[in-house]
A = this chain, B = another copy of it.
Amino acid sequence: MKHDSWLPGIATSLYSPNFSDNLGCHGRLAGNNPQDDKSVGLNDAIQSLVSYFETNDIRECILIGHSYGGMVITGAFDKLGAERIKRLVYWNAFVPNPGECLNDMVPPNYVGLFDAIAQDDGSVLLPYPIWREAFINDADEDLAKASYERLNPHPYKTFTDTIELSKAPAEMEVGKSYLNCQEDVALPASLPWHPRLSEKLGLYRLVSMPGSHESCFTNPTLLGKKMIEAGRD
């Protein structure tokens, strides 16, 4: 591994088994079901969430997105509006402006790594050493390995597709929170989640806690408590 290619800087997108659970959905985002075609793109993922809201007539929802999930909840709010979604919670998540893709928010060497590890079916999966050191740094080895086994290859196209938005997140009239796990170095600490991405929200509520990018595995109790603090009125 080269000096300048040491971290991938993604997140739930690379596995996201629990992302849809966080939403309280019974299905998963398009592209994240194990059997999904790995060529699906960002708009497919957003649309699958939009359809879920509409099919189930969900209203006044607090929507949490983790990592890549920040792309999806931003896009979904833009289509669904404040009647259906009352607050967006970004948990160490990407915050896109109109026309940005996820890869625009990671260092160039990450893009190089993604390109290098992309499979023929269009999916990417994080190498274990990166997972262990930079994503789940606060786990013991058993948990690091067990959680890695649960990862689900992710459709890379969702990182390279640019997002269509009618306005920037800072202009969106909705409650906005950023939940920051303070030992999350899945993005380099010199190019961090917070405040680099959080401040793209305009007025937002900051909630933070100790923990890695994978606090859903390493400290779910505290994470749940902080999600409530981030999501309440």
Contact = CB atoms under 8 A, between A and B. Distances in A.
Interface string A186-206: 001110001110110011111
Interface in A156-207: 168, 170-171, 175-176, 182-183, 185, 188-190, 194-196, 198-199, 202-207
Given A134-B203, A134-B204, 11 more contacts: A3-B170, A3-B202, A6-B202, A132-B205, A133-B175, A134-B206, A137-B205, A137-B207, A141-B232, A183-B208, A189-B198
Contacts of A210: 208
Nearest to A171: B3
A1 interface: yes
Nearest to A184: B206
Please tell me how many copies of the chain the complex holds.
3
A232 B145 CA distance: 13
A3 to B, nearest CB: 4
Binding site of A, secondary structure by majority: helix, strand, loop or mixed? loop
Contacts of A206: 134, 137, 183, 185, 189
Contacts of A141: 232-233
A204 B168 contact: no
A229 B132 CA distance: 12
Which interface class (under 10, 10 to 19, 20 to 34, 35 or more) fits A?
35 or more
Contacts of A137: 205-207
A115 B196 CA distance: 27
A114 to B, nearest CB: 16
Interface string A118-137: 00000000000110111001
